[in-house]
Amino acid sequence: MVVELKNENSIANRFLAELRDVQVQKDPLRFRRNLERMGEVMAYELSKTLNYAEAEVISPLGIAHVELPVDQPVLCTILRAGLPLHQGLLNYFDRADNAFVSAYRKHRKGEDGFDVEVEYLSSPSIEDRVLIISDPMLASGRSMVLVYKAMLRMGKPKEVHVVSVIASTEGVEYARKHFPANTKFWVGAIDEEMTAEAYIVPGLGDAGDLAYGNKA
């Protein structure tokens, strides 16, 4: 299942528009906050698909019967660009466990191509857990797939969700081929084009640089 938020009008469209806007991008604080807000919107939408059970809550005047989530997920993000989006998810899934993975593009000398390498992983067990992997950009899809495969060292999740703000058509198709068949993808917008360097067009540029400054 692929959910593209822009297909249904909501306030998320404004957050997404500001993330793309070259003028608004000049304010890193605003850029990070918009990524965070997209994470909050995604968490709300995703939460509708989780399992719930009835519980009782004692108020000052009586007992309320409510439906509460059965499982608390494991939130996994890709450093460093994924941190604000991860925080947005964590704001809503505030009892979640957390995982962090360092994945980067290793460019081949004298070539346009690159390899993706996973360098660092910190995670609890994900055995029989709901796993939510987030990264602002799902471009070629290779980083997301490698991170998922690396996370399998920590167990086999019972349910997998992928959260991205902007994805390419090619990246979504690649990821769908390499993730379990029942994986749910939550995307703000899917763009058709991608450059030879695997940057999404129109996209928004380099999310990590815009959030935290240019890399040396």
**Which is it for the CA torsion 89, 92, 93, 94, positive or negative?**
positive
- Average pLDDT of the chain is 93
Q: At what angle do helices 28-47 and 83-92 cross, to 10 degrees?
A: 40
What integer pLDDT is reported at residue 117 of this predicted model? 74
Residue type, 8: E
What integer pLDDT is reported at residue 216 of this predicted model? 74
Per-domain residue ranges for the chain? Answer: 2-49+73-212
Spans of the chain below 50 pLDDT: 114
- Bridge-partner residues for 99, per DSSP? 76
What integer pLDDT is reported at residue 28 of this predicted model? 97
Give the alpha-carbon dihedral of 129, 35, 81, 134, to 10 degrees.
20
What integer pLDDT is reported at residue 119 of this predicted model? 80
What integer pLDDT is reported at residue 118 of this predicted model? 78
CATH number of the structural domain 2-49+73-212: 3.40.50.2020
What integer pLDDT is reported at residue 41 of this predicted model? 98
